[in-house]
Structure 1
Amino acid sequence: MKLKSLILGSVAAAGLSTAGYAADLGVLTSLDVCDSLGISGLTISSSDNCLQITGGVSYEFNWGDFNGSANTIASNAGGLAADNVTVPDNDTVAGLDNDWNSKVETWLKFVGTASSDFGPASATIKLKSVHHFNAPNEVVAVGGDATGGVALGGVVPAGLTASGNGIWIVDEAFVSVGDTTTIMAGKKGSIANFGDDVPLNFLGLFNSENVDTGVMFAKNSIRTGGHSIQVVSTVADGLTLKAGLENLGGDSAAAGNNGYAALTQGQSAGSAVGVIEYAGNGIKAHVTGLAGGILDGVVENWGVHAGFTGTFDAFTVVGAGAYGANNAGVNYWNVLGSAKAQFDIFEIALSGEANGGSASPSQAGFGGSVGATVTEGVKLNLGGRWFDEDTAVANNESYQIAAQIVAAVAETITVTGEVGYYGTNKPAPAENDFYGAAELAWAPGGGFTSSVKGQVHQTGAYKVTFKAAKEFK
């Protein structure tokens, strides 16, 4: 970078000292291919290629007594087996009370771009590593991401396998070319749009939380991303069309998702994805359609996800729905609606959700919140949410109420405090729980963020969490 600056500075100085030759040499507008391509940040350039480098590191450490699991709230919300909303519980095991885990996530991304007759042409390589130690009841295990982790004792953390902890893997590797129309091929994330479906009340909704916030068909029933061929085209102002073939390598789907049977890699290979998106005039909307397992000539499962977000002066409205089915006749649906209004210092939000299907009971929930900006930098939130796991059966309801204060005590420091209560009329082992939490967040600039959070629960659980992260672009 210093060499590049020195060269540019020398050329500029030479230009100033030889102004008489300007007419012969012409006007020099740029000496750098990154500038001509509109690429900024940390870059290295040659005569025809610009290499942009980005990356980041995040760290999280948890300690306390929080590994208990006999306190299920909103069990199997959305009919998704193994997906529950829980609150921490203490768990004494032969005097081994303490739990802790430590995780480092690292990523490094390289994008090399050059100009072509069809628009910018680039190759992207993203490397990723996850190094994770987990100690439930003071028994240490170690794990990574999809490449796993070597078990030192106890159990490997959920979602981790037992080999190769912390190994760098190729998370993305693809080529692309184009401007208003872009063609992409290789290993990358999906073009599917599952957004415009976030509830606007501050606690959110129970089933929405289970599907990573929003609405969704049965989890992992249709595999996306991975080895892919994709086309994205902006066809009009604010209107974008996307089409792709994804999961071309084949990635088997697990059983137990709303009755969806397990698929072999051959059965699940190939997902057709199509998306229509619009963004403009305070409106965002999309429709995403998917068909899974098409390479063997049989559509194993299919799904649709649609969402809308509209902002009109002081009002914001969200509406979303998802539907999924398989070739065995199993289907699942999920809808959500939410609205928020701003009145001077007050903010009011209401949300509702419902879901069901052939392999899931009919379920419904709602939530609401009131926020007030009492002074500059200080906001109060009061809210609640409720969920009925089976509308046809009594004693299946759970709820949460909470009060929160968020205060910017300095330009770079924010303090958040929250007290709340989880309640249920479900039989044991479900538990009611009163809790309190406080968090100190620090963002001194330069992309660095850090926080310390402590929480205690009526169940006897307690946890302290430390986080720190930095990205460079």
Structure 2
Amino acid sequence: MKLKSLILGSVAAAGLSTAGFAADLGVLTSLDVCDSLGISGLTISSADNCLAISGKVEYEFNWGDYNGNFNGGVDTWAGNRQIIDNGDFVFAGTTYNNDWGSKVETWLKFVGTASSDFGPASATIKLKSVQQWNVTNEGYGLLPPTPPGTPGYVGRVAGGDMTAGDGGFVIDEAFVQVGDTTTIMAGKKGSVANFNDDEPFNWLGLFNSDAVDKGVMFAKNHPKTGGHVIQVVSSLGNGVTVKAGLENLDSAAAGDFGNPVFYDEVAGAQAAGTLVGVVEYAGDGITAHVTALAGGVLDGIVEDWAVHAGVTGTFDAFKVRVAGAYSNNNPNNDTYWNVLGSVEGNFDMFTIALSGEANGGTNAGVAIANQAGFGASIGAAVIEGVKINLGGRWFDEDTATNNNETYQIAAQLVAAVTETIELSGEIGVYGSNKVTPTATDFYGKAELAWKPGGQFESSLGAEVHQNGAYKVTFKASKEFK
């Protein structure tokens, strides 16, 4: 219970009888430190500290025949984006094909804040738990070479497909922060790097953009960001913000490099320390940023460096976006560049978008294949609560050779059944001119989403593919803050 409620309750119990006391209620209200700091939501306060509590639970269940190594038909790694497939396991005339997965993701966050001479001072602790269980082909695999049911048989059981944590809570964030227009942060947290203003506007997006988690990006974790950090963020006014951080100070931790048995302590130590610098602008219909990173600075030698930049302009009915990324790994002489451009126009009931991308680089000093793609879409609000989207995208995995192109064409209908229920359906096709047994994969999707309020969301969806794959997905989540 907040201190304000206790004080007001005590005053009421004592019996206010004069207008003077009534007028003083506004002064008593200001004693609540959460209100004075502008903090709302689920809070607990003392005389000088406000503790804000937030959290979320997300659940997802999948079932069907959607996981495996499908070698026929349309390229299942079209533009580095995997398409679900029906890679079944067959042994002694018996087919094992059912796949399923269950995932629970939970986080709980505490932020304790108090006033200081330099602005609000806070300590943040975020606990996170991920428990995920995935089973492919009912848990059976290639070994041992004896059929199920044979005495002594030990199959590839489901436990071998445990993929993302055992459900134990870990400290995802733990840092202190002080300041207002200039803020100083230190501890374990995410990066101050800005990788925004780079997603394409068209409905389906772009193939390579999807492969790098939307937008343009260099090789992930090169340089590595976040982790143990020391950071400063300052607002200079007129929409300009500058950020600086010394991050990845815990890079030598074996857990950051996968299996500790094969952990290279020398390489891990040399990669420690990433210097991050950011300049941002937001105002007058324009958002823009430049982020620069230099990795491995603690040993005095920069092992790798990268730059990410993006700008978005909104002009009446049009939006324009341009973004680019470049990285250089000095020890391996690897480079990578990635650029993207997108434009969107809104005309009464129609929304039209066009996007393009390209990427390339070198591997050990030798040029890798240049890649390029584009996408377009048109959306229309047919009637109130009903919208349709039509779109397509194309990707060339090697612009110097033939028969390396992949495409997707799709149509979507989204209808608001009620204020809390939305129904969507999608049909489309993936295609390729690669030499494959089947050059296309037609598919269909449907989803029923329910948002009754209170930050609760749930959905039930299904998709089927020409290649024989199918998948049913149930999701539910609730956030509080």
Contact 2:227 2:248 in 1 (8 A): yes
Does structure 1 residue 312 correspond to structure 2 residue 325?
A: no
Counterpart code for 1:468: A
1:140 offset after TM fit, Å? 8.9
Structure 1 segment 372-387 matched on structure 2, within 5 A: 372-387=380-395
Return the match for 1:388 from 383, 393, 396: 396
SS at match of 2:89: coil
Cα distance in 1, alignment partners of residues 24 and 467 from structure 2: 82
1:74/1:397 contact within 8 Å kept: no
Q: 2 CA distance for matches of 1:86 and 1:49? A: 49
2:166 alignment partner, SS class:
coil
Quote the Cα distance in structure 2 between the aligned partners of 1:451 and 1:458: 24
Alpha-carbon deviation of 1:138? 1.2
Q: What letter is aligned with 1:207?
A: N
Pair 1:263–1:441, CA change in 2 (3 A): farther
How far apart are 1:154 and its partner, in Å?
Answer: 5.5
Residue of structure 2 in register with 1:297 after alignment: 300
CA contact (8 A) 2:61 2:103 kept: yes
Structure 1 residue ranges (4+ consecutive) displaced by more than 6 angstroms after TM superposition: 22-26, 252-255
- The yes-or-no answer on 1:336 pairing with 2:340 is yes
SS of residue in 1 equivalent to 2:369: strand
CA distance in structure 1 between the partners assigned to 2:373 and 2:76 by the alignment: 10
Shift of 1:12: 5.3
Change (3 A) 1:3 1:292: closer
- Give the match for residue 88 of structure 2: 92
Residues of 1 paired with 2:169 and 2:188: CA distance?
15
Q: What residue number does 1:192 align with?
A: 193
Residues 254 and 262 of structure 1 are in contact (CA less than 8 Å); yes or no, is this contact kept in structure 2? no
Q: Which residue of 2 aligns with 1:346?
A: 350
Cross-structure match for 1:275: 278
Deviates more, 1:353-362 or 1:165-174: 353-362
Tell me what 1:65 maps to: 65
Distance 1:140 1:60, change over 3 A: farther
Does the 8 Å CA contact 1:220/1:254 hold for their aligned counterparts? no
Secondary structure class of the residue paired with 2:54:
strand
- Deviation string 1:118-158 (CA, Å, 9 cap, x unpaired) is 000000000000111111111299xxxxxxxxx96453355
Query: In the aligned structure 2, how far is the partner of 1:73 from the partner of 1:416?
Result: 26
Q: Does 1:156 align with 2:161?
A: yes
> Which residue is 1:145 aligned to?
none
Cα distance between partner residues in 2 of 1:341 and 1:24: 55
- Matched-pair identity in %: 68
| Map of 2:289 onto structure 1 | 286
1:404 has 2:412 as partner = yes
The match for 1:46 is 46
Paired with 1:194 and 1:7, the residues of 2 have a C-alpha distance of 46
Matched AA of 2:320: V
Deviation at 1:44, TM superposition (A): 0.5
Q: State the alpha-carbon separation in 1 of the partners of residues 114 and 127 from structure 2.
A: 21
- The aligned counterpart of 2:117 is 117
> 5+ unaligned residues in a row in structure 1: which ranges?
78-83, 142-150, 256-260
Is the contact made by 1:346 and 1:373 (CA closer than 8 Å) also made in structure 2? yes
Judged with a 3 Å threshold, the aligned counterparts in structure 2 of structure 1 residues 264 and 15 are, in CA distance, closer, same or farther, namely: farther
Please state whether the residue corresponding to 1:361 is helix, strand or coil: coil
CA distance in 1, matches of 2:245, 2:438: 44
- Name the CA shift for 1:443/1:140 in 2 (closer, same or farther; >3 Å): farther
Alpha-carbon distance in structure 2 between the residues aligned to 1:26 and 1:52 = 23
The answer to whether the Cα contact below 8 Å between 2:68 and 2:136 also exists between their aligned partners in 1 is no
Listed one character per residue, the Cα deviations across residues 403-432 of structure 1 (whole Å, up to 9, x for unaligned) are 000111110000110000000012338852
Paired residue secondary structure (1:5) = helix
Describe the shift of the 1:73–1:236 C-alpha distance in structure 2 as closer, same or farther (beyond 3 A): farther
Partner of 1:147: none
State the secondary structure of the residue aligned to 2:184. Answer: strand
The answer to whether the 8 Å contact 1:69/1:86 transfers is no
Aligned to 2:224: 223
- State the distance in 1 between where 2:457 and 2:289 align: 32
Task: Give the Cα separation in 2 of the matches to 1:190 and 1:183.
Answer: 13
> How far did residue 236 of structure 1 move?
1.1
* Greater shift in the superposed pair: 194-203 or 20-29: 20-29
After TM superposition, the score normalised by the length of structure 1 is 0.90
Measured in 1, the distance between the counterparts of 2:342 and 2:26 equals 59
Cα 1:6–1:114 shift into 2, 3 Å = closer
Q: CA deviation at 1:4?
A: 5.6
Post-superposition offset of 1:463:
0.4
Q: Residues 120 and 177 of structure 1 are in contact (CA less than 8 Å); yes or no, is this contact kept in structure 2?
A: yes
Aligned equivalents of 2:68, 2:336: Cα separation in 1: 31
Deviation (angstroms), 1:344: 0.8
SS at match of 2:193: coil
Matched residue, 1:148: none
- SS of equivalent residue, structure 2 residue 161: coil
Match of 2:326 in 1: 323
Deviation at 1:96, TM superposition (A): 1.4
The amino acid across from 1:203 in the alignment is: L
Range moving further from structure 2, 358-367 or 27-36? 27-36
Q: Which residue identity is paired with 1:63?
A: W
C-alpha contact (below 8 Å) 1:69/1:88 kept by paired residues: no
Q: SS of the residue aligned with 2:298?
A: coil
Could you report, residue by residue, the CA deviation over 1:288-338 in whole angstroms, capped at 9, with x for unpaired residues?
A: 000001111110000000001111111011110000002143211000000
Q: In the superposition, relative to structure 1, how do residues 134 and 182 fare at CA in structure 2: closer, same or farther (>3 Å)?
A: same
Measure how far apart 1:265 and its partner are: 1.3
* CA distance in 2 between partners of 1:27 and 1:191 (Å): 38
Q: Does 1:357 align with 2:361?
A: yes
Match of 2:144 in 1: none
Instruction: Give the drift of 1:278.
Output: 0.7
Pairing partner for 1:417 from 425, 432, 437: 425
Mapped contact 2:174–2:188 kept (Cα < 8 A): yes
Q: d(CA) in 2 for partners of 1:263 and 1:281?
A: 48
Question: Shift of residue 14 of structure 1?
Answer: 5.2
Uncovered stretches (5+) of structure 2, i.e. residues with no partner: 142-155, 259-263
Distance 1:399 1:430 in 2: 14
**Aligned with residue 438 of structure 1, among 425, 434, 446:** 446
Q: CA deviation at 1:98?
A: 0.6
Please give the alpha-carbon distance, in whole angstroms, between the structure 2 residues aligned to 1:263 and 1:381: 52
Alignment equivalent of 1:369, drawn from 354, 374, 377: 377
The one-letter amino acid paired with 2:128 is K
Kindly tell me the number of residue pairs found equivalent between the two proteins.
449
CA distance in 2, matches of 1:93, 1:20: 82
* Deviation of the 1:220 alpha carbon: 1.9
CA contact (8 A) 2:65 2:85 kept: yes
